[in-house]
Amino acid sequence: MATTYRTCPISGMQFEDQAEKLMRWNAVAGVLWLLVGGITALLVILTRWPAIKLLPAEEFYLILTVHGIDMLILWILFFEMAVLYFASSTLLRCRLATPKIAWLGFWLMVVGGIMTNVAIFQGESSVMFTSYVPMQAKPHFYLGIILVAVGALLGTCVFFGTLVVARKDKTYQGSLPLVTFGALTAAIIATFTILSGAGILIPTFFWSVGLIKEIDAQLYRMVWWGLGHSSQQINVAAHVSIWYLTAAVLFNAKPLSEKVSRFAFLLYILFLQLASAHHLLSDPGMSAEWKVLNTSYFMYFAVMASMIHGFTVPGAIEAAQRRRGYTNGLFEWLRKAPWGNPVFSGMFISLVSFGFLGGISGVVLGTEQINMLMHNTFYVPGHFHTTVVTGTTLAFMSITFLL
């Protein structure tokens, strides 16, 4: 079958037919989950508001479970599948490898997402996003998440296959483009994340149907956070890639040092997922040596990587703007930026919010002594929302205007 391309009249990018359909379906499905998650967020707010207290306790935790699953897993993973197909097929201008597998992955994710939501709304599965044992949900709650994970893994494999197709067809010269390299980083972290989730949720599913007698609570928490927090590290690699893409398309900006930016992405692969340790610092089952190692040297490398990106992207935009003649004072380049363009304004707010609010609050939580004070307080959801909402979601929403 012949490969057909559509040229976008705004960006000039060329979209392969099958890849574009998959991007649209995944992005739209993600936005629908975002809508459900947003409605439940409003219900959570109205319940936590002392003057209203909308929902009783049981219904509140049901809604909070839906909110966590739909926002932190479904919205994010669906849109990230669209990002992976874009970063491979569109940026490398090549056909998508095995589109039938990609569609299978998409429908598995759809069925799994619906299955998990149905389990929650049926009651008796209000186990929160973390679903810690010994709290037990209905079997189809776990099965739904497993199907989502399998579907996402298939999409990730299609991304890897598309990179092979592009290399074989010689659609690009030299190294992978930086944005595609960042997406590759996200895909590698996604593989680790999905396997972690499967490693603990499959036996938990068997436990829920009575085939396994018990699940060790400490083991569950440790392995589960390889899914729960590492899934947010996919976000980081993905939305940082979007920052670079926005700078390149809108300003023709180039990184001040592409080698350093690539090195920062490599640091993500090696160390970023270890940040999940900050959820376990108050757990007596983890050794002091484990806590010190994960919250000191390992985490510092991940923080350094984000600092590199956080300075490189605005630095590249500044250099591009100054080449255009915006050289008066320190910040004319920023004042003259296209703030009326939602692609830029969304990206820049994402960058600043993630860097100064989400990033710094994460470093604070990752410090063992301070974590003892902050754990299980409003500081934790504050960190979540400044990373996933103002960081990842704003970046994802901004790039939709470009696509």
Name the pLDDT band for 297 (thresholds 50, 70, 90): low
Q: Could you report the per-residue pLDDT of 184-237, keeping only the tens digit for each?
A: 999 999 999 999 998 999 999 999 999 999 999 999 999 998 888 888 889 999
Which of 107, 63, 56 is closest to 81 using CA atoms? Answer: 107
pLDDT at 300: 79
pLDDT of residue 1 exceeding 60, the answer is no
Find the largest Cα–Cα distance for the chain. Answer: 70
Q: Would you state the structure tokens that stand for residue 314, as one six-digit string?
A: 């605005």
CA distance 100 to 107: 11
CA distance 262 to 298: 18
What is the three-class DSSP state of 6?
strand
Per-residue CA distances from 28 to 58, 118, 268, 397, 400 (Å): 31, 20, 28, 11, 10
Cβ-contact 29, 73 below 8 angstroms: no
Q: Tokens 């996604």 — which residue? A: 190
CATH 1.20.210.10 residue window(s) in the chain: 8-228
For residue 370, the one-letter residue type is I
DSSP tag of 5 = E
Mean pLDDT of 119-131: 94
Written in H, E and C, the secondary structure of 115-148 is HHHHHHHCCCCCCCCCCCCCCCCCHHHHHHHHHH
Ordered DSSP codes for 13-62: -EEEHHHHHHHHHHHHHHHHHHHHHHHHHHHHHHHHSTTT--S-HHHHHH
Q: Would you state the structure tokens that stand for residue 43, as one six-digit string?
A: 């219900």
pLDDT of residue 373 exceeding 80, the answer is yes
| DSSP H or E run through 249 | helix 230-251
What is this structure's pTM? 0.94
Mean pLDDT is lowest, of 44-48, 110-114, 158-162, 386-390, for 386-390
Of residues 244 and 231, the one with the higher pLDDT is: 244
Q: Could you report the per-residue pLDDT of 43-97, keeping only the tens digit for each?
A: 999 999 999 999 999 999 999 999 999 999 999 999 999 999 999 999 999 999 9
Name the pLDDT band for 150 (thresholds 50, 70, 90): very high
Cβ-contact 267, 305 below 8 angstroms: yes
What superfamily would CATH give domain 8-228? Cytochrome c oxidase-like, subunit I domain (1.20.210.10)
Residue 216: φ, ψ to 5°:
-65, 125
Is the previous residue joined to 134 through a cis bond, with omega within 30 degrees of 0? yes
